[in-house]
Amino acid sequence: TVLAQILRSLGLADSAGRLVDPDDALIAAYRARLDSARAEMDRFGAGGVPALVAGSGDTRRLIPSGALFGGLETLVAKLQAA
| Complete DSSP assignment for 68-82 | GTS-HHHHHHHHHH-
pLDDT in tens, the chain (82 residues): 899 999 999 999 999 999 999 999 999 999 999 999 999 899 999 988 888 888 888 888 898 888 888 889 888 988 888 6
pLDDT of 49? 83
Q: E strand or H helix at 67, and its extent?
A: none
Task: Specify the pTM.
Answer: 0.66
Alpha-carbon gap, residue 46 to 23, rounded angstroms: 31
pLDDT of 8? 97
| Complete DSSP assignment for 16-62 | HHHHHS--HHHHHHHHHHHHHHHHHHHHHT--SSS-EEESSGGG-EE
